[in-house]
Structure 1
Amino acid sequence: MKKYIIAIIALFCITSTSTVMAQRGLVKLNAGYNVGLPLGNFNSNYVSNASPRGFMGDLSLGLNNKYSVGIGFGFQDFYQKYPRAVYDLAPNQQISAVLSNSIQVVPVLAKFTYTPFLGTTKLIQPYASVGAGISFVTYNQYLGEFSSDNTSGGKFSAMADAGIDLPFSRYNSNVAAKIGVSYNYTKFGMSDAANINMVGIHAGLAFQLH
């Protein structure tokens, strides 16, 4: 776990260094509600239900009127319950039970964002961002009331995000609505689903802090 803590500290150090290099930059806080849609083997083998239990956000510093760097964060809670069936626990040992999968993902990412019309009076401002870092993943599988498998730990994670900001005022607005779609990849490490792949659909607010 120490190496994951060190990695997070390094991410914050990168952001702090950027602050020194661009003290006159624009500081923004983005926060919003997120719906996660599982993809690939993660969808077919663990959770096919969409997750309405999530949020995402970031704290960024503008390098100029187009580019910014920062720290992204979030949370997504996946849950799937399967109908009762017979499962093999060991040779010559079976159990009839309802199987449930519960997975929580908490990303902490270094992010780079491109906003071509930032600082202009346009009321529709598209953006695109990429990020990489660590997601803390907790996985529990239950047969009835009994946990049959569980893992937790930090995993490599990456994302790409695109959307639009809608400032509340054409001039000097400190608040904007935000709508976007992201693709998220997290290393899962299970034999039948090596990765957690999902699409996130999110909406929220962007606040200018400085």
Structure 2
Amino acid sequence: MLLLVWVTVTALLAYTTYWAPASLYTLLDITSSLPDYKIQPGTNQPISISSVLKCVVLVHLNHVLVTLPGLHISYYLMLARDADFSPYLPSLTTICWHLVVFTLVDEVWSYYSHRLLHHHILYKYFHKMHHRWRSPIAISSDYSHPVDHVLSAVVPSVLGPLLLGSHPITVWLWVILTTFNVVIHHSGYSIPFLPSPHFHDFHHLRVIAPKR
């Protein structure tokens, strides 16, 4: 029963938090709305419907064939870690502290795994697919090779919770925050009061040459 709850709730939260804002951003691209907030003006406006459909298919394959098995594995890893699966909610202080640690772990992992994926041996096989979007759009956040998806999306989402043995409530809040953040950073729009995706957009525009 716990396995079913862990996988189902986590997957639904991640899926909803990904596709709700990503779909709204894609609507902006399709209708060429808010051009003044577009970081790379004139790109993906209007966007090719065939490109959108191709992206949607690949992202769903990653979500179903990679993320779901990853969640099953993470459950058993959390059990082995003796994580807090009690029916009692953690305190607000504990939740906030864990979220801070999750963020730090995510930043470190994302930085070094991303550098690794830009190495010339790995880039052309795994990470190059993600960089096909020179001007990224929100739904392209998880447009990637399955190996890239594991390293860039699945592992950083569960590494912090596994390290601390966190309660599912804390993990689910983290999944919502980190999923929303990655969609914003691939949106291609700099909208007031939301995190700025300028840096990530520039990274896609000026892809760093793989190291030799």
Alignment TM class, shorter chain as reference: under 0.3
User: Between Structure 1 and Structure 2, which shows a larger proportion of strand residues?
Assistant: 1
User: Between Structure 1 and Structure 2, which shows a larger proportion of helix residues?
Assistant: 2
Based on CA coordinates, which of the two structures has the bigger radius of gyration? 1
TM-score (norm 1): 0.26
